[in-house]
């Protein structure tokens, strides 16, 4: 029987279950590429329920306990005395979501003597030291595509929010004001701007596709060029490097995984290559952008706005400069955990667990590390190495 240790974010401050704003969510059965959404044998939840918090337990409790397995669910994930660290040594499986990541550093993997499988309920497994997982033979899997469209929608929202100065204008209303000039003096149309995506995988290409009707110039860069027919259909300009692309854009959106090659990609030098007054949107991973360089560029006016939902570490300490820097549109890490997305990645997590428990192969596209090396999606999109350095800082949030 397996011990499954699941780290999830806290319940709503008003308690669980919450009242839902809608009675149902649309049923999505296929992703844009044609692959099917998760196909577990069973499902112990109603799509649209809050599953990503502790009481939601990703809808796994009934399934695991009926099978005689032990399920431990906690939100207490950081620091040596945390429930996560206490329960880790004899856990066979660890599950966590990137929104509230259980950082699986090399030190923690060394202590987790029974660990065989680390599942990311969502997409992005950079909170796991992939190098250490490979060396220890731990399989790492994520629910590829489960929330890609959720994030793409968030990116489009954030681009429009920044360019049109939505959040400060909303704030004027909330505060009882009506100064139109305050709202208008930083508000532009997106039409005619040049928008570039770093990475044109599932999220990046969905962002580009959604922006096409806005009559903007569309640009992208990645290691492998898209087919000519896709470039033609979307009217894309390809750039051989990030540095070349950012110099040609008014808006840049980052849509690559975090691994050593992309860590700190947007440092002071890269940001200085961007046009004055450009907007930078990062829903990929906080560490891809240099924390202080972003804050400085907003303060100096070199960047007109920065938005995203990813930070490092998570949760971000109270004194993280991105909480207070000017002209930002940050949210906590939420874009990929809409109730719609949760239904898919909870089902995908169950599918992965069913396969693993029944010794059936896990879908190739869900694999990040298997058999001691990057595999499946991991082999295509990631590079070897470790991006968890500094994650112990997340414990500062708890102390605050």
Which residue numbers are catalytic?
A: 147, 285, 314, 333
The string over 94-125, giving b where at least 16 C-beta atoms fall within 10 Å of a residue's C-beta and e elsewhere, is: bbbbbbbbbbbbbebbeebeebebbbbbbbbb
Query: Is 340 a residue that touches ligand NDP (CB under 6 A)?
Result: no
CB of 54 to ligand NDP, least distance (A): 19
Query: Is 105 a residue that touches ligand NDP (CB under 6 A)?
Result: no
CB of 100 to ligand NDP, least distance (A): 11
**Going along 151-289, which residue ranges are E strands?**
194-198, 217-221, 236-238, 251-254, 278-282
Please say which residue, 63 or 259, places its beta carbon nearer to ligand NDP: 259
Contacts of residue 108, Cβ cutoff 8 Å, sequence gap at least 6: 85, 88
Please say which residue, 95 or 151, places its beta carbon nearer to ligand NDP: 151
Please say which residue, 2 or 118, places its beta carbon nearer to ligand NDP: 118
Closest listed residue to residue 210, CA positions, set 286, 164, 166, 156: 156
DSSP 3-state assignment of 279? strand
Rounded alpha-carbon distances, angstroms, from residue 258 to 20, 123, 199, 282: 33, 11, 12, 11
Number of amino acids touching ligand NDP (CB under 6 A) = 33
Query: Is 315 a residue that touches ligand NDP (CB under 6 A)?
Result: no
Please say which residue, 83 or 157, places its beta carbon nearer to ligand NDP: 157
Binding mask 239-278 for ligand NDP (x = CB under 6 A): ----------------xxxx--xx----------------
Please say which residue, 73 or 284, places its beta carbon nearer to ligand NDP: 284
CB of 252 to ligand NDP, least distance (A): 12
The string over 196-234, giving b where at least 16 C-beta atoms fall within 10 Å of a residue's C-beta and e elsewhere, is: bbbbbbbbbbbbbbebeebebbbbbbbeeebeeeebeeb
186-205: contacts with ligand NDP (CB under 6 A): 198-204
Q: Which of 132, 162, 249, 284 binds ligand NDP (CB under 6 A)?
A: 284
Rounded to the nearest 10 degrees, the angle between the axes of helix 166-174 and helix 148-163 is 70
* Contact predicate 127/390, CB 8 Å: no
CB of 197 to ligand NDP, least distance (A): 9
Residues at the interface with ligand NDP (CB under 6 A): 122-124, 147-148, 151, 198-204, 221-224, 255-258, 261-262, 283-285, 309-310, 333, 335-336, 377, 381
């Amino acid at each position: 029987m397996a011990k499954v240790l699941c780290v999830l974010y806290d319940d709503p401050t008003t308690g669980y279950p919450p009242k839902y704003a809608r009675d149902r969510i649309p049923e999505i059965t296929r992703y844009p590429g044609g692959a099917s959404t998760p196909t577990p044998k069973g499902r112990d939840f109603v799509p649209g329920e809050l599953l990503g918090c502790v009481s939601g337990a990703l809808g796994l409790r009934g399934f695991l306990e009926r099978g005689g397995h032990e399920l431990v669910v906690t939100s207490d994930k950081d620091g040596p005395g945390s429930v996560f660290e206490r329960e880790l040594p004899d856990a066979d499986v660890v599950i966590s979501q990137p929104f509230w990541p259980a950082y699986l550093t090399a030190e923690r993997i060394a202590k987790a003597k029974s660990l065989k499988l680390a599942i990311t309920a969502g997409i992005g497994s950079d909170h796991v030291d992939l190098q250490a997982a490979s060396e220890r033979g731990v399989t790492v899997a994520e629910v590829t595509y489960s929330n890609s469209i959720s994030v793409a929608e968030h990116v489009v929202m954030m681009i429009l929010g920044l360019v049109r100065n939505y959040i400060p204008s909303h704030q004027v209303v909330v505060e009882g004001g009506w100064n139109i000039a305050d709202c208008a003096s930083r508000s532009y149309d997106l039409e005619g701007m040049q928008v570039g995506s770093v990475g044109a995988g599932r999220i990046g290409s969905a962002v580009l596709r959604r922006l096409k009707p806005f009559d903007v110039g569309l640009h992208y860069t990645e290691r492998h060029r898209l087919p000519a027919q896709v470039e033609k259909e979307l009217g894309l300009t390809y750039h051989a490097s990030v540095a070349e692309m950012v110099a040609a854009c008014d808006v840049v959106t980052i849509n690559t995984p975090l691994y050593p090659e992309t860590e700190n990609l947007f440092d002071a030098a890269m940001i200085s290559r961007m046009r004055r007054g450009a907007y930078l949107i990062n829903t990929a991973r906080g560490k891809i952008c240099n924390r202080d360089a972003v804050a400085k560029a907003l303060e100096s006016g070199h960047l007109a706005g920065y938005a995203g939902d990813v930070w490092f570490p998570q949760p971000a300490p109270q004194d993280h400069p991105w909480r207070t820097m000017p002209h930002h549109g940050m949210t906590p890490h939420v874009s990929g955990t809409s109730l719609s997305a949760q239904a898919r990645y909870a089902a995908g997590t169950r599918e992965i667990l069913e396969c693993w428990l029944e010794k059936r192969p896990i879908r190739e596209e869900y694999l990040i590390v298997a058999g001691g090396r990057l595999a499946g999606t991991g082999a295509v999109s990631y590079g070897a190495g470790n991006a968890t350095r500094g994650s112990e800082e997340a414990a500062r949030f708890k102390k605050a």
